[in-house]
Copies of this chain bind each other. A is one copy, B any other.
Amino acid sequence: MPSVREIRLKSRPSGLPTHDNFELATVELAAPGAGEVQVQNLWMTVDPYMRGRMNDVKSYAPPFQLGRVMDGGAIGQVVASNDPSLSVGDLVQSGFGWREGFNAPASAMQKLNPGKLPIQTFLGAAGMPGLTAYAGLLKVAALKDGDVVFVSGAAGAVGAMVCQIAKAKGHTVIGSAGGADKVAYLKSIGVDHVIDYKAEKNLNAALAAAAPDGIDVYFDNVGGAHLEAALNSAKMFARFAICGMISIYNATAPEPGPSNLAQLIGKNIRMEGFIVSHHFGMMPQYIAELSQWVADGKVSWKETVFEGIEKAPDAFIGLFKGENLGKMLVKLT
């Protein structure tokens, strides 16, 4: 009967989460029951959307419960099986993250066949963040030939894939990120114009200079001032895929929206929010395209890795401080 550690929600944060909001606990795992398997998690993911789940507010994902484990995406390995569909040694993808191990029905997880890809890729470029970039660009923003694409949070797990997919398809790409390392990274993957928003005094002017003829597509991971600048630089019939607004996730008081929304009218701008779960049907098509881009050297990715379940809160809090280059991950073994 192994003992495993897990992270629980101790208290709900006001503003940026702190260590006080998390609690490390140890639980003993019984043998898996009928139809269950026991899984040792190898990798877990932390993602910005989890901040919303720390509030006691109904949204598309249910809120985390106080005193209970914070669940989320993970890659693990079956270490004991009481179900014929999974064998010891099988790799599985599950939603039982923020813990070193667990028992769960075999039906609640997905067997993973990673092929040539490192397994943690399925939490990033070949997983939800990658598909978010792909579906957001191609379906929500309806990317078409000749579009100039602006991406905020461009060095993050989603943003870096947006940049590379757009480049692979031949577009001019403008990416915004904060800090010299991220700027250098974005230039290294072929982004045409990189805006260091932390160094820029005037984001509107910086975007106008990078896109003198305007932008056709804006992929928003940030909201706030970036959204305002995108509206100012939008061409007629621009499409905005609204994926995230990390700039306001930790706001303790209502954060006003951009003052220039009336530009939607004269420019006939379409602004559409989305969450990736409504686009899971595009996954096979995405993986097929991704495999080709990887083989052609057109798409790569970065990971920022924290080691050990006890570091999961640091990894998570780091997302809101911009500490990650590419996908933020926690390695559990």
Contact = CB atoms under 8 A, between A and B. Distances in A.
Interface of A: 52, 59-60, 223, 227, 242-245, 248-249, 254-275, 278
Given A257-B258, A259-B256, A271-B272, A60 B264 contact: no
Sorted nearest first, the 7 A-B pairs with minimum C-beta distance are A257-B257, A264-B273, A256-B256, A254-B259, A265-B273, A60-B266, A270-B272
A243 B264 CA distance: 9
Contact of A266 (B248, B257, B270, B273): B273
Contact of A262 (B223, B264, B274): B223
A278 B266 CA distance: 11
18 contacts: A60-B267, A223-B262, A242-B261, A243-B265, A245-B261, A245-B265, A254-B259, A254-B260, A256-B257, A257-B260, A257-B261, A264-B273, A266-B275, A268-B272, A268-B275, A270-B270, A271-B271, A271-B272
A108 B225 CA distance: 43
Interface hub of A243, A254, A261, A271 (most chain B Cβ within 10 A): A261
Given A223-B261, A254-B260, A264-B271, 9 more contacts: A223-B262, A244-B265, A256-B258, A264-B273, A266-B273, A266-B275, A268-B274, A270-B270, A271-B271
Contacts of A278: 268
Nearest to A243: B265
